[in-house]
């Protein structure tokens, strides 16, 4: 991870088209869950001021009832003092391949007999950014996403294959055993991928590997690289990945 990785991502004004709106988390329950994960793992957190000053800390406690967060603080750290006096900072941290970002306000220094903490108000929203090329999500079973592919060896044959999982850099398709096989190394152009009603795009797939996924020859898994997306399509795919992760986490909490 480079220092640039841990800088806050630029966000647009709320009253304009917001390309990061798909990454916003505004559920109090989910925000609390993410904060507790940071707390439990003692995850390093960078607090960044508007002028670029960086203070490194960890989250010590999460109090959703009081709506407060407590961070480790050194009372002799002049940068922490400046940060608190400015009362404006952006926190950036990583949970595995997910970058979390949230603003801190109402900051104050709390001194105890043995320790010192910086407290701030629990944010009402935060952002989750998936590190590119890093994470693959299984598609939800309802309304199975599909990829419409022309068979490279039989141009007149059009296949509609289920999309098993997807990432920014690739996807896995299910090829029934009744279909003529596809060879690794094949390049499939003009593939229409429909993940849901809002996420449809055309891409180029390169078949990397073919794997049997069932013991009795009921089909094979096609591992494909994904390329040729427009900027708009790539943003739509990233939103789909983030929303799918979010829905799966909410299902696991229910």
Q: ∠ CA(214), CA(218), CA(222), 5° rounding? A: 75
pLDDT score at 17: 41
β-pair type (116-121, 68-72): antiparallel
pLDDT digits (tens, 9 = 90+) for 203-241: 999 998 887 765 555 678 898 989 998 888 888 888 888
pLDDT score at 25: 86
Single pTM value for the model: 0.51
pLDDT digits (tens, 9 = 90+) for 159-183: 999 998 888 888 989 998 888 888 8
Regions of the chain where pLDDT drops below 50:
1-4, 13-17, 132-134
Domains of the chain: 3-130 (2.30.110.10), 137-253 (2.40.10.220)
Q: For the chain, what percent of residues have pLDDT higher than 70?
A: 80
Strands laid side by side in the 68-72 sheet: 59-63, 68-72, 116-121, 108-111
| Four-residue CA torsion sign, 10, 11, 17, 23 | positive
Q: Are 107 and 119 in contact (CB under 8 A)?
A: yes
pLDDT score at 132: 46
pLDDT score at 133: 47
Max Cα–Cα distance, the chain, nearest Å: 78
Instruction: Tell me, letter by letter, the H, E, C secondary structure of the chain.
Output: CCHHHHCCCCCCCCCCCCCCHHHEECCHHHHHHHHHHHHHCCCCEEEECCCCCEEEECEEEEECCCCEEEEECCCCCHHHHHHHHHCCEEEEEEECCEEEEEEECCCEEEECCCCEEEEEECCCCEEEEECCCCCCEECCCCCCCEEEEECCCCCCCEEEEEEEEECCCEEEEEECCCCCCCCCCCEEEEEEEEEECCEEEEEEEEEEEEEECCCCCCCEEEEEEEECCCHHHHHHHHHHHHHHHHHHHHHHHC
């Amino acid at each position: 991870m480079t220092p640039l990785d841990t800088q806050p991502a630029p966000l647009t004004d709320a009253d304009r088209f917001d390309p990061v709106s798909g990454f916003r988390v505004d559920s109090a329950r989910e925000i609390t869950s993410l904060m507790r994960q940071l707390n439990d793992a003692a995850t390093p957190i960078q607090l960044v001021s508007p002028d670029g000053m960086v203070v490194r800390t960890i989250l010590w406690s999460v109090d959703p009832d009081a709506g407060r967060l407590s961070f480790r603080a050194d009372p002799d750290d002049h940068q922490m003092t400046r940060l608190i006096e400015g009362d404006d900072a952006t926190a950036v941290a990583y949970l595995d391949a997910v970058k979390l970002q949230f603003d801190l306000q109402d900051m104050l220094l709390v001194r105890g007999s043995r320790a010192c903490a910086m407290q701030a108000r629990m944010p009402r929203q935060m952002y989750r950014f998936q590190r590119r090329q890093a994470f693959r999500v299984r598609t939800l079973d309802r309304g199975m996403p599909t990829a419409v592919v022309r068979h490279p060896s039989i141009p007149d044959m059009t296949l509609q294959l289920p999309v098993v999982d997807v990432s920014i850099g690739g996807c896995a398709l299910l090829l029934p055993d009744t279909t003529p096989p596809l060879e690794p190394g094949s390049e499939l152009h003009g593939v229409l991928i429909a993940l849901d009603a809002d996420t449809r795009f055309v891409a180029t797939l390169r078949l990397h590997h073919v794997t049997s996924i069932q013991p009795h020859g009921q089909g094979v898994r096609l591992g494909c690289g994904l390329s040729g997306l427009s900027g708009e399509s790539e943003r739509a795919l990233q939103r789909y990945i983030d929303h799918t992760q979010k829905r799966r986490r909410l299902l696991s909490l229910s």
